[in-house]
Structure 1
Amino acid sequence: MIKAQLFPSVAPNTVNNFIDYILDDQFSDSSFHRIIKDFMVQGGMVKDTKSPIRGEFASNGFTNNLKHTYGVLSMARTSDKNSATSQFFMMTSTSPHLDGAYASFGGIISGFSVLNQLERLNTNYNDEPLSKVVIESIEVDLKKYEPSPVIYYNK
């Protein structure tokens, strides 16, 4: 089991979006579908993707100082800076080239051994694990945090 802490003070809409997918139980039975050794493990491809959100990072005009270091959670996206939906990745190394270009929004606080095991899995030429790695569930303990409605990006 991996436990992470989300940082709404760093990327509020990104955190609210992630929580929204969790509360809608969208991640259950999805998988970690992309693994690149010494870089990251990516998951969160869901059946019912919602609209994209605005990328909360410096090259998109948003201050986000959370660096892409080992254990940091960040949103995956296409080349469009405002295309993040449900997919996220967990850093397995420090990757400064992502700082300011991807929305980091949390960090792993326990379960680093699981992350390391995932990173060591054999993959094919598309970085897909040779055996399916299922996300059984993702849960969130909101404590006293009250998520705001997600603000979707309108082009």
Structure 2
Amino acid sequence: MKRYFSIIAVMALVLCMLVGCGSKKDDTSSKSAKQEETVAPESTDNSGQDAETSDSSSDDTNQLSGKHHVVIKVKDYGNIKVELDADTAPISVTNFVKLAKQGFYDGLTFHRIIDGFMIQGGDPNGDGTGGSDETIKGEFSENGVENNISHVRGTISMARSSENDSASSQFFIVQSDSTYLDGQYAGFGTVTSGMDIVDKICKDTPVTDTNGTVEKENQPVIDSIKVVD
């Protein structure tokens, strides 16, 4: 009888050890997933949930083509000049130009900054939860759209949530090559002048965590985004 109970005790101990190992593995996987989420330039924009998936920017008859140029004026820093490629990302460019012409971006901020990665802005709430009234189709290969704009230094791209077609107004400018984002985010242009300003913003701005969160009083202000042509 004693031997019988000893066998049961040993089996119970082994079972506990296996369960413990399994829990540790799951926890590691959870941590890895969480780390990957914080690296991506995502928004938690819920502003377009009740709207149609795509706005008028997705209508072929309304889409821009060719190259377009904008100037992002950042308060106390200077101008970032950007060339937009509507031949590659017509929906994203049309949406961005439309919002800029409406003055949507004037007075908004860069709310998320990660030195060595990117600066993200264009959220009216200033915390990653806001956007414009409409969402657009994500122009990247994982969403069935060919886009050869790589996320190298100077690329401007649309931020989004985990939903492929959730981008609206938030955008990010890549500070350091991040080509692992290719195929997952819609690059739609390139900075032609002012990457020194992006570098300075990344260097100067204090953040509260590794996700690049910036307190509202420290967020660099976008005075305006003007469409040149």
Residue 42 of structure 2: aligned partner:
none
In structure 1, distance between residues paired with 2:138 and 2:214:
27
Calculate the aligned-residue CA RMSD, in Å.
1.2
Fraction of identical pairs, as percent: 39
Residue 29 of structure 2: aligned partner:
none
Residue 184 of structure 2: aligned partner:
101
Q: Does 1:88 align with 2:171?
A: yes
- Give 5+ residue unaligned stretches, structure 1: 143-155
Q: Deviations over 1:93-129 (max 9, x none)?
A: 1111110100000110001110101111221125223
Picking from 204, 213, 223, the partner of 1:128 is 213
Compare the two structures and name the one with the higher helix fraction.
2
Residue 159 of structure 2: aligned partner:
76
CA radius of gyration, larger in: 2
Picking from 83, 101, 110, the partner of 1:5 is 83
Greater mean deviation of Cα atoms: 60-69 or 115-124: 115-124
Q: What TM-score, normalized by structure 1, do the two folds share?
A: 0.88
Greater mean deviation of Cα atoms: 95-104 or 129-138: 129-138
- Give 5+ residue unaligned stretches, structure 2: 1-78, 126-130
Residue 148 of structure 1: aligned partner:
none
In structure 1, distance between residues paired with 2:179 and 2:192:
21
Q: How many residues align?
A: 142
Secondary structure, aligned partner of 2:156: strand
Q: Does 1:140 align with 2:224?
A: no
Q: What TM-score, normalized by structure 2, do the two folds share?
A: 0.60
What stretches of structure 1 move > 3 A for 4+ residues in a row? none
